[in-house]
Amino acid sequence: MKEHIIALLTEALPMVNIESDFLFSELDSLGVTTILMLLSEEYGIELDARDATPRNLKTIDAIVEMVKSKLANK
Amino acid sequence: MEQAIEHFAQLTPDKAAVISADETLSYSALWKRIRLRAKRLREEGIADGTPYVFVATQDADFIVTYIAVHLCGGISVPLDSSTPEERQQQIREEVSPPINGKNPLPSFRGNKWLNGKCSDILYTTGTTGKAKGVMVSKKAWTANAENLTDRLGFTSDLLFIICGPLSHLGSLSKIYPTLMNGGTLYIMESLKDLNAFFSVFQLPFPKFATFLVPSSIRMLLQVASKDLAAVAPKIDFIETGAAAITQSDMQRLCQLLPYSRLFNTYASTETGIVCSYEFSKYGCVPGLLGKPMKHSSVRIDGEGRVVCSGDTIMSGYVGSPELTAQILRGGEVFTSDLGSLDNQGMLRLQGRQDDVINVGGYKVNPLEVEEAVCSSGLVSECICLPAPHVLLGTVPKLLYVPGEGLETKPKDIADYLRGRIESYKIPLFYEAVEAIRHTYNGKPDRKTYRKD
C-alpha cells in the first residue's frame, strides 16, 4: 500500500518530496486537498477537513496509517 | 492607516487588532510595537522614500513591520515567502538602482514615474505577463479601503480572516479597511490546516469574513462542506476574486451559506480594487463582477480590453517607464482582460488577451517557466501551457523534449525548479514529447496547442 500511495501522490504532486520526514511542512493547501481527494477516491474512504491534521500528514507512514485506520472502520 | 491605529489605540486600547497563531496584539500593543519598530528602522536608515524589502511572513509581526516602514515614510516591498533568494537580491537591486556609485535609496523621490507618491511596491506578473514591481501610492490604498468598506461593509465588530499571501493585493488590501474601521485581523499561514481555519470561528466575535480565491473555495467545497455549513450563521461575508469562479461553485456556496453576503471582485495590483458583485443577492452569473466602486471607473476599449481609472490605480512600474507607458496612459490602466459592460454598467469578464496562466489567482508567465526549465539542461526544448485542474481551474503544464541521451522524468524538472522560481509557477502536469510545434518564425506555437 505504501509504495502505491507514494506513486499516486508523486504523480499528482511532482514538486513535493512525498517521502520527506517533514511532509506536512512541504505541503500547501492544494497539496493537502489533493491528498485527501485522491486517497478518498482510490480507497473508497471518507476523508475530510478533520483528517487534514499535521499529525495525519506528517509523513508518508502517517498517511498510510490514516488510510488503514479508515479502511478498518469502514 | 497609521492615524487610524493610533486613534483606536486611544479609543479601544484593549481590543484585539491583530491575532496570529503565536500572539494577539491589542490596538495599544500594536501601536506601541509599530512605534518601536519604526525607531529601529529609522536607525537602520529607513527614511522618506526608502524602499524596505522583506519577506511577507503570515503573522502579526508582518503587520508591525509593514506599517512601521510607512510610519518612517519608507516604501514597503513585501515579497512572497517562496521567492528564491537570488530573485530577492535582484529585487533589492531593482528598487535601489545605484546612482553615481552612491547610496541611491532616497533617489526614488526623483523618479518621475513615482512622483513621490509610492508607499508600497508589490511584485506581480499581472497585466503585462512579466514579473514587475508595481508602485502603489498611499492615496490608492486609501481609495481601495474606502471602496471595500463601502461595497463589502467592514465594521468595528468584524473579525477578518487572512489566509492568503500578504505579499499580494488580495490579502494585503484587507488590512486597510479592517484596521481603519477598528476591526480585528486574524492572520493564518495558509488554508493548509483546515482545522485551524475552522477553529477561528470559535473565537468570541459576532461577525466573521474572509477573502478566498476560487480555488480555495473549491477546496473547501470538496473536503469541508460540512464544516463550512456548521459555521454559516457566523459568516458575514466572503469575497472572492483574482480568478474565475464557476457558476456551480457560486451556487453551492450560496446553498451552504444562506445568511452570508458573497462577493466576486475585480481587482489587480495595477488597477487596484475596482468592481464587486454580490452574487448571493443578485444571482450567480459567471464572469459578472458588478459596477465600479466609488473611487473607480471602467470602460471597454476598441479591442475589447478592460480599461480602469480612478484613485486606486498604480503609480507605475519600478524602473521601467517604457513598460509603464504601455499600460498606464492618460490616467488609465489598460489591462489584458477582455470584457464588456452591460446596460446597467456592470462589468463582465470574457478572458485574457495574452498567454498568462492564472493559477488559483497567481499569474504565471509561461516564458519565465520555459526559460527556467531550459536552463536545467534536462530538456532540449519545452513549452508551458495552461491545463485544466479540478481544484485550481488552470495550472501550468509542461510539454518537453528530453535532452539528448537523457531520460528526464517530471520529478527531475520539478526538483530543479524548486528554489529557482516561485512554487506556484512550477508545472503540475508534464508530458514528454518527441518535438514541440513551432510557428513559421520559430516560436513555440501556443495557439495551436491551446486548441488541442
Q: Say whether pLDDT at A50 is over 50.
A: yes
Q: Do A54 and B223 touch (CB under 8 A)?
A: no
**Which pLDDT does position B97 carry in this prediction?**
55
Res. B170 pLDDT band, cuts 50 70 90: very high
How close is the nearest chain B Cα to the Cα of A71, in Å? 18
Percent of chain B whose pLDDT exceeds 70: 94
Cα(B168)–Cα(B247) distance, integer angstroms = 25
Query: Would strands B362-364 and B357-359 be described as parallel, antiparallel, or unpaired?
Result: antiparallel
Cβ contacts of B219 on chain A, cutoff 8 Å = 29-30, 33
Q: Taking a C-beta distance cutoff of 8 angstroms, is the pair B185, B162 a contact?
A: yes
HSE, side-chain direction, 13 A CA sphere, residue B392: 26
Q: Say whether pLDDT at B353 is over 80.
A: no
Cβ contacts of B223 on chain A, cutoff 8 Å = 33, 36-37, 47-49, 52
pLDDT-wise least confident of B83-97, B362-376, B421-435: B83-97
**Which pLDDT does position A74 carry in this prediction?**
80
pLDDT-wise least confident of B113-117, B217-221, B224-228, B344-348: B113-117
Cα(B17)–Cα(B60) distance, integer angstroms = 9
Q: Does B212 touch chain A (CB under 8 A)?
A: no
A55 phi and psi angles, rounded to 5 deg: -70, -45
Interface of A with B in 15-54 (CB under 8 A): 15, 24, 27-34, 36-37, 47-50, 52-54
Burial A50-62, CB ≥16 within 10 A → b, else e: ebbbbebbbbbeb
Question: Model confidence over B231-281: pLDDT tens digits?
Answer: 999 999 999 998 888 899 999 999 999 999 999 999 999 999 999 999 999
How close is the nearest chain B Cα to the Cα of A48, in Å? 5
Q: Do A50 and B227 touch (CB under 8 A)?
A: yes
**Which pLDDT does position B367 carry in this prediction?**
87
Q: Which residue has the higher pLDDT, B101 or B18?
A: B18
Cβ contacts of B392 on chain A, cutoff 8 Å = 30
Question: Model confidence over B73-92: pLDDT tens digits?
Answer: 899 999 988 888 888 888 88
**Which pLDDT does position B104 carry in this prediction?**
42
Supply the DSSP symbol for B112.
T
* Average pLDDT for chain B: 89
**Which pLDDT does position B130 carry in this prediction?**
60
Supply the CATH classification number for the domain B2-350.
3.40.50.12780
Cβ contacts of B427 on chain A, cutoff 8 Å = 14
Q: Do B222 and A37 touch (CB under 8 A)?
A: yes
Write out the CATH class of domain B357-451.
alpha beta
The model carries a pTM of 0.85
**Which pLDDT does position B113 carry in this prediction?**
39
B300: part of which helix (H) or strand (E)? strand B296-300
Cell triple for B394: 488552470
ipTM of this predicted structure: 0.79
Say whether B73 sits in a helix, a strand or coil.
coil
pLDDT-wise least confident of B32-46, B122-136, B386-400: B122-136
Tell me which residue in A27, A29, A49 faces B216 most closely, judged by beta carbons.
Answer: A29
Cell triple for B214: 476560487
Res. A29 pLDDT band, cuts 50 70 90: confident
Domain layout of chain A by residue ranges? 2-72
Mutant choice from A9, A15, A46, A66 vs B, greatest count of B C-beta within 10 A: A15
CA R_g for chain A: 11
**Which pLDDT does position B128 carry in this prediction?**
54
Cβ contacts of A33 on chain B, cutoff 8 Å = 219, 222-223, 391
**Which pLDDT does position B380 carry in this prediction?**
92
Cβ contacts of A24 on chain B, cutoff 8 Å = 192
**Which pLDDT does position B296 carry in this prediction?**
97
**Which pLDDT does position B30 carry in this prediction?**
98
Res. B439 pLDDT band, cuts 50 70 90: confident
Q: Do B194 and A52 touch (CB under 8 A)?
A: yes
Q: Which residue has the higher pLDDT, B355 or A45?
A: A45
Sorted by sequence, the CB contacts under 8 Å of residue A65 that are 6+ apart come out as: none
Domain layout of chain B by residue ranges? 2-350, 357-451
Supply the DSSP symbol for B293.
-
Res. B110 pLDDT band, cuts 50 70 90: very low
Cell triple for B252: 453551492
Supply the CATH classification number for the domain A2-72.
1.10.1200
**Which pLDDT does position B100 carry in this prediction?**
46
Tell me which residue in A29, A37, A50 faces B192 most closely, judged by beta carbons.
Answer: A29
**Which pLDDT does position B108 carry in this prediction?**
44
Cα(B234)–Cα(B257) distance, integer angstroms = 9
Tell me which residue in B216, B226, B426 faces A48 most closely, judged by beta carbons.
Answer: B226
Res. B209 pLDDT band, cuts 50 70 90: very high
Q: Does B102 touch chain A (CB under 8 A)?
A: no
B272 phi and psi angles, rounded to 5 deg: 80, -165
Identify the bridge partners of residue B401 per DSSP, sorted by sequence position: B381
Mean pLDDT of B89-107: 61
How close is the nearest chain B Cα to the Cα of A49, in Å? 5
pLDDT-wise least confident of B138-142, B185-189, B195-199, B436-440: B436-440
Mean pLDDT of B1-18: 96
SS3 content of chain B, % helix, strand, coil (to 5): 35, 30, 35
Res. B192 pLDDT band, cuts 50 70 90: confident
Q: Does B391 touch chain A (CB under 8 A)?
A: yes
Q: Do B223 and A47 touch (CB under 8 A)?
A: yes
Query: Would strands B51-55 and B75-79 be described as parallel, antiparallel, or unpaired?
Result: parallel
Mean pLDDT of B197-209: 96
Query: CB count, 10 Å around CB of B407?
Result: 8
Q: Do B194 and A10 touch (CB under 8 A)?
A: no
Q: Do A15 and B423 touch (CB under 8 A)?
A: yes
